[in-house]
Structure 1
Amino acid sequence: MQFESHRQPPAEWVEWLDGWVASLRVHGATPATIEHWWYVVSQFAREASMPPDLVETNDVLAWLGRGVGVNTMRSEVIALNSFFQWSLRDGRRTDDPMECVPKVKRRKQKQKPAPREAVEKGMNHPDPRVRLLVMLFADAGLRRAEAVQCRTDDVIDDLTGKSLIVHGKGAKDRVVPLDEPLARELMSAGPGWVFPGQRGHICNDTAYALVKDATGWPPHAFRRRFATDVWRATGDAVKVQSLLGHESLATTQAYIYQTADDLRQAVKSMRSYRQHEGIGIAHPEQLLAAYGIPDSIVSAVVESVKTQDRSNPKLF
């Protein structure tokens, strides 16, 4: 039996899941990935109400169509694919019910960061766990799984202050600088796990529930707030990428929430630069369109900039 702190699957699934988890560990899957995939398949097992050897494609499709978001569905398809492919290789099944389940494309629509009111609400919450979790998400950009694994001895001294060794996704550690209030809160937690639970540290679901119930926003929205604020403060997406622990800059760009005001400021900065360099800018709308900015926003931004400086014919 795996992950005893989680709700367990039906008895007839336990041996299958144990064998699958053992295989994942041998093949080098990270503990966070294994736990998440196990959680997904266990949830499916409870709701399918049938043994794993009787599951058919329609059972999977019915469960996937229960109304979750596209990215959640995509994650569930990946976990179920892994489980049923293993059961086929292990000789427990002679067919794969996932074979006719279509692939789910990742939705690239940007999600909004948590508003500042939610950040303040979390940081002033009476529950110290909520306060510290929100600080780790909003002030250090941690993921849920990274936050719950924090230990006080992960806080280290560097040349200019305190930093946190973050045990990241894919078994990759990174070092994130801490501001004084967050470093002080972490050090005051006492030795061992910062968020102790019945068996080690609290689980990801507990962290999610604590923050969502207290603020109305999920933990990842606070990570997006961190990413957006660092980008606005520095204009450096590569620094944001390093702090978030992303391998790809494209992933980081999805976390940075840009408003019409951000785009307007970009055009104004370009105008100022070209004026200084003696370069005219006849068609700023073409530049914005080249970056895939919607026409409605392009029109509003360009008109705003033109209105603010019609006295300089050199620019338009």
Structure 2
Amino acid sequence: MTTGPAVEDVAPTEAQPQELGEVLPESFAGVLGSYERHLVAERDLTPHTVRAYLGDVAGLLEHAHRLGATHPDDLDLRALRSWLAKQHSMGLTRTTLARRATAARVFTAWLARTGQVTTDPGAALGSPKAPQTLPAVLGADEAEQLIRAAADLADDGSPVGLRDVAMLELLYATGIRVGELTGLDVDDLDDGRRVVRVLGKGRKERTVPYGAPAARALDHWLDRGRRQLAREGSGPALFLGARGGRIDQRAVRTLVHRRIAEVPGAPDIGPHGLRHTAATHLLEGGADLRSVQELLGHASLATTQRYTHVTTDRLRRAYRQAHPRA
């Protein structure tokens, strides 16, 4: 057992609990409601993430109640370990168990910090070590083919084509998350300095640079494409859908998968795969970890360090293929 993994880029496991509080004693139901308000108002998490955390915590409290607990102070390390052990017996993966252990630790730390329990049982809770899986990424030539193919299709000047090229260029140039991309407004771009203001997780703001190809694609979209899709009520959204509203994340994911499918031999990745690709290419090009951490908006350097596994693995494969005595 070891401490939990960094989970900044992966949402907690989403559960589908019964109506929250339905099978819980009043004290547990009340604390669950307070925790929900904390996640929404103080941590400013997305609705999806709030649902995921509440699902995990509701499952923990239901399990503790079956063991005889009726008050938050009845939660102890035995109950937490028993909850994880039961899920392990159900065949859940190590990654899922590690995320749920993290959700439990965050919850019990909040209980202790707010004085609802005398000690924090989650402080001693370990997590199964999640397997180190290397994220699929595009090669530099594949990334170039991806954007070149999209640009060829946009040669007719269609607003959707110009938009798609601009989104692909910006995703690859900056490594921003798909939710950050769809949340951008026109005023978030500083074309003079070639930087974009991004509102990341926890509403933390950061400034990310982009290069000349992305700048050209954005100029074409803003000058010729966006005005054709804009409607009354479009607001300041940088990227618009076909009906003039702010484009949603699902449409961006569909676009990325469709365009990458057109690149021979490329792995099937979505917008998050382009984020992995951007980080990997930055490190392979000589960028230092701290700079990549800032660009990606990672709170922990450990999250950024996983990309070094990708570059090391590629180096090892190249060595085996090229060196006569490998």
**TMscore range, shorter length:** 0.5 to 0.7
Aligned counterpart in structure 1 of residue 237 of structure 2, from 193, 199, 214: 193
Matches within 5 A, 1:35-114: 35=47, 37-44=49-56, 54=65, 57=79, 58-63=82-87, 70-83=94-107, 86=110, 102-114=126-138
Aligned counterpart in structure 2 of residue 11 of structure 1, from 9, 19, 32: 19
Question: Share of identical aligned residues, percent?
Answer: 23
Matched, 1:140 2:174: yes
Deviation for aligned residue 1:38: 1.8
Deviation for aligned residue 1:237: 2.7
Cross-structure match for 1:172? 204
Deviation for aligned residue 1:90: 7.2
Q: Distance in 2 between matches of 1:107 and 1:95?
A: 31
Asked if the contact 1:141–1:244 (Cα under 8 Å) also holds between the matched residues in 2, the reply is yes
Q: Distance in 2 between matches of 1:97 and 1:156?
A: 48
Deviation for aligned residue 1:252: 3.2
Alignment partner of 1:137: what SS? helix
Structure 2 gap segments, 5+ residues each: 1-13, 22-28, 68-78, 261-267
Cross-structure match for 1:22? 37
More moved, 88-97 vs 61-70: 88-97
**Cα gap change, 1:11/1:196 in structure 2, threshold over 3 Å: closer, same or farther?**
farther
Deviation for aligned residue 1:299: 6.0
Deviation for aligned residue 1:223: 0.6
Matches within 5 A, 1:157-306: 157-159=191-193, 162-178=194-210, 179-184=214-219, 187=222, 188=226, 191-194=235-238, 206=250, 210=254, 214=258, 216-232=268-284, 234-237=285-288, 239-246=291-298, 251-256=303-308, 257-258=310-311, 263=315, 302-303=323-324
Over the aligned positions, Cα root-mean-square deviation in angstroms equals 5.0
Asked if the contact 1:150–1:194 (Cα under 8 Å) also holds between the matched residues in 2, the reply is yes
Query: Between Structure 1 and Structure 2, how many residues are aligned?
Result: 258
The one-letter amino acid paired with 1:79 is A
Asked if the contact 1:8–1:42 (Cα under 8 Å) also holds between the matched residues in 2, the reply is no
The one-letter amino acid paired with 1:192 is P
Alignment partner of 1:176: what SS? strand
Q: Distance in 2 between matches of 1:68 and 1:119?
A: 36
The one-letter amino acid paired with 2:38 is S
Structure 1 gap segments, 5+ residues each: 1-5, 264-292, 306-316
Q: Distance in 2 between matches of 1:157 and 1:55?
A: 59
Asked if the contact 1:74–1:104 (Cα under 8 Å) also holds between the matched residues in 2, the reply is yes
Question: Could you state the TM-score of these two structures normalised by the residue count of structure 1?
Answer: 0.56
Q: Distance in 1 between matches of 2:168 and 2:93?
A: 24
More moved, 218-227 vs 172-181: 172-181
The Cα offsets for residues 237-277 of structure 1, whole Å up to 9 and x where unpaired, read as 355444323456554342253277x64xxxxxxxxxxxxxx
More moved, 100-109 vs 72-81: 100-109
- Choose between structure 1 and 2 for higher RCO, CA contacts under 8 A separated by at least 6 residues: 2
The one-letter amino acid paired with 2:215 is E
Asked if the contact 2:108–2:121 (Cα under 8 Å) also holds between the matched residues in 1, the reply is yes
Alignment partner of 2:37: what SS? helix
**Cα gap change, 1:85/1:247 in structure 2, threshold over 3 Å: closer, same or farther?**
closer
Alignment partner of 1:164: what SS? strand
Asked if the contact 1:237–1:252 (Cα under 8 Å) also holds between the matched residues in 2, the reply is no
Deviation for aligned residue 1:20: 0.4
Q: Distance in 1 between matches of 2:295 and 2:91?
A: 33
* Structure number, greater radius of gyration: 1
